[in-house]
Amino acid sequence: MSARARLDQLWRNGTEFLGCKVALLGGAMTWVSERHLVAAISNAGGFGVIACGAMQPDQLAAEIVGAKGLTTRPFGVNLIVMHPALEALADVCAEAKVGHVVFAGGLPSAALLRKLASANVKTLGFAPALAIAKKLVRMGIDGLIIEGAEAGGHIGAVSTSVLAQEILPQVREVPIFVAGGIGRGEAVLGYLEMGAAGCQLGTRFVCALESIAHPNFKKAFIRAGARDAMPSVQLDPRFPVIPVRALINKASESFLETQRDVIARYNRGDIGKEAAQLEIEHFWAGALRRAVIDGDIETGSLMAGQSVGMVTREQSTVEIIDELVDQAVAALMARERLGAAR
């Protein structure tokens, strides 16, 4: 069996589940994972995923139509569980005959999973711990994504490698895709051999030629190293901050200053606790759009995973996916040569 045939065998569970040629999902990145990049990933043999984010149902419907105008291959939609119009957004996906919905930011209800299943829509959910993975399976989820703290954007506390060791051997009922800090094909291969059905990558696709991200945003990624992508810092446990991994910039420093100022005003009794928490949370409002769309890389949010150091230039999506596949195949071939030499 050739090395490429072996790779195809390793991720066959994932490719059959997604309906694509290579079991590589595009991570859903707000403002970045829109129709052009999503279609490009699917056209290149992977599986693009629209980031719904804060879209309203009519906006999502238009985005799905737009993506279908650019590809005839399967793609999915990422929905945020806390979105107030979640049910309506799920209905949009079902009516548009989107094959897969990825739930993020919480657990969807079992009733919603059943509703989508009745419309022949496969569902995936994020499992940050083994207990949650098992719960999602019991609820009827069709597939899982385990994403470690190396990822960009909102992150959990556990690394990808630890989550994979914790969950992959214990959950066999549904296909599982691994995400967080993955930037090369050798890493993809490693997780496939541990039992994953495929991998999800976001940061590697930001600088794709088909990505609409502003040139300034892309340049920041190309210049950055892994140590530049750091989680946001919480100064006071009374005012929790959901950690977000992003490239450090002036906004990162300003966020710390804002927290210090708000906490000082609260301690003096000048502001109530709820108002203080809201002021901290609202600091980043609109910051991601400012960076991705407007190119403001000083006061915008540069959400990036630690694999950003492996983003060294703009490439077509086809080239990125082919590179990942070639790296995995080369690793398999090297292993076979080593075995033959012994």
Beta bridge partners of 315: 208
How sure is the predictor about 338, in pLDDT bands with cuts at 50, 70 and 90?
confident
Q: What is the pLDDT of residues 189-237, one digit of tens each?
A: 999 999 999 999 999 999 999 999 999 999 999 999 999 999 999 999 9
| pTM for the predicted model, two decimal places | 0.95
For 255-302, how does the pLDDT look when each residue is reduced to its tens digit (9 = 90+)?
A: 999 999 999 999 999 999 999 999 998 899 899 999 999 999 999 999
Q: Is 138 helix (H, G, I), strand (E, B) or coil?
A: helix
Q: What is the pLDDT of residue 342?
A: 66
Q: Is the pLDDT of residue 168 over 90?
A: yes
For residue 64, give the 3-state DSSP assignment: helix
Neighbouring CB atoms inside 10 A of 295's CB total: 17
| Residue whose token pair is 């739930």 | 103
Domains annotated for the chain, with CATH where assigned, are: 3-213+312-341 (3.20.20.70), 215-306 (no CATH)
Query: Are the CB atoms for 251 and 303 separated by under 8 Å?
Result: no
**Alpha carbon 294 to its chain's center:** 22
- 320 touches 205 (CB < 8 A): yes
